[in-house]
């Protein structure tokens, strides 16, 4: 049986999953979190399904070994490829971002899915949407240039607005009701996406629903944390000193300590060393 004070595990290929972290912190401020950013192997969106499944299960194993009580897959690409097969991983409940995003608010008739190439290529997000909303008119748009903008810290730059406007220009003729931000990196580009599509198009962030699902499951399992001093445990498979400033900028809080991890040796050392220049020991957030 998991302990209520155990952390919630969240993972993504890089900075993107912090959009889920932020939503979970808002919904469950008393919960400790353990976040893994697989920045040594970002982006996942242009990789093969076999690679993504392998990376995902390596991180799931790591999170379970670290003692998490629940896992939120903050990577849409990962969640469409490993769920629903992994509703639990070694007895730990697992929730996916894509599964949360496939439930639309009432009144949505025409929607666009913005996602990575791998997510669009899999067809799984489309199937999930059609299962719950068979009458919705859906258009899928692969946006391979969005993740690099975020990972480089340029999410509110003039370049970001230009790239996003060019990519989404064909959607302006679609009379859309809403757009699903089908990659956890894309909420970083909220301003640029809204500017490209106009104020009349609703932007749907699946992280909001995912945080609600996690809260509901913890309540049902009686695993809500009552500790008034939650801790944020941060891990990256690449360089903490590169990751931390961008993470702090997005979360608007100081990450006092961050660790590098090879996921128990699962990330080849040559990959980590190629992008790493140092390790900052310890965990915590304030």
Tokens in use for 147? Answer: 């993740």
Residue 73 CA from chain centroid, whole number = 7
Tokens in use for 57? Answer: 């299960």
- Looking up tokens 């690679």 gives 51
> b/e per residue, 191-229, with b = 16+ CB within 10 A?
ebbbebbeeebbbbbbbbbbbebbbeebeeeebebeeee
Q: Is the Cα torsion angle 95, 101, 103, 106 positive or negative in sign?
A: positive
- Looking up tokens 């969106």 gives 45
Active-site hit among 10, 28, 75, 168:
75
> b/e per residue, 45-81, with b = 16+ CB within 10 A?
bebeeeebbebbebbbebbbebebbbbbbbbbbbbbb
Over its C-alpha atoms, the chain yields an Rg (Å, rounded) of 18
Q: Is residue 235 within 8 Å of residue 34, measured between CB atoms? A: yes
Distance CA 173, CA 177 (A): 12
- Looking up tokens 């009701």 gives 177
Active-site hit among 20, 34, 183, 204:
183
Catalytic (active site) residue 75 = yes
Distance CA 145, CA 185 (A): 11
Q: Which residues are catalytic?
A: 75, 183
């Amino acid at each position: 049986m998991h302990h209520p004070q155990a952390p919630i595990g969240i993972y993504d290929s890089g900075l993107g999953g912090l959009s889920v972290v932020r939503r979970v912190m808002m919904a469950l401020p008393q919960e400790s979190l353990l976040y893994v950013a697989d920045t040594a192997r970002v982006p996942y969106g242009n990789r093969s399904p076999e690679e993504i499944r392998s990376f995902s299960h390596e991180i799931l194993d790591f999170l379970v070994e670290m003692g998490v009580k629940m896992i939120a897959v903050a990577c849409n690409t990962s969640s469409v490829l490993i769920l629903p097969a992994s509703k639990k991983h070694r007895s730990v409940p697992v929730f996916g971002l894509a599964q949360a995003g496939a439930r639309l608010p009432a009144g949505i008739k025409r929607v666009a899915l913005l996602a990575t190439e791998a997510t669009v290529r899999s067809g799984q997000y489309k199937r999930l949407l059609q299962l719950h909303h068979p009458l919705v008119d859906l258009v899928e748009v692969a946006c391979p240039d969005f993740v690099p903008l975020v990972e480089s810290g340029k999410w509110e730059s003039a370049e970001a607005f230009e790239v996003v406007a060019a990519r989404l220009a064909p959607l302006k003729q679609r009379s859309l009701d809403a757009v699903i931000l089908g990659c956890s990196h894309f909420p970083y580009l909220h301003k640029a996406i809204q500017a490209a599509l106009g104020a009349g198009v609703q932007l749907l962030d699946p992280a909001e629903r995912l945080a609600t699902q996690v809260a509901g499951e913890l309540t049902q399992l009686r695993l809500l944390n009552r500790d008034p001093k939650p801790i944020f445990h941060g891990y990256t498979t690449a360089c903490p000193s590169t990751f931390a400033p961008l993470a702090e900028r997005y979360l608007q809080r100081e990450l006092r300590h961050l660790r590098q991890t090879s996921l128990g040796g699962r990330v080849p050392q040559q990959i980590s060393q190629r992008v790493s220049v140092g390790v900052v020991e310890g965990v915590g957030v304030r």
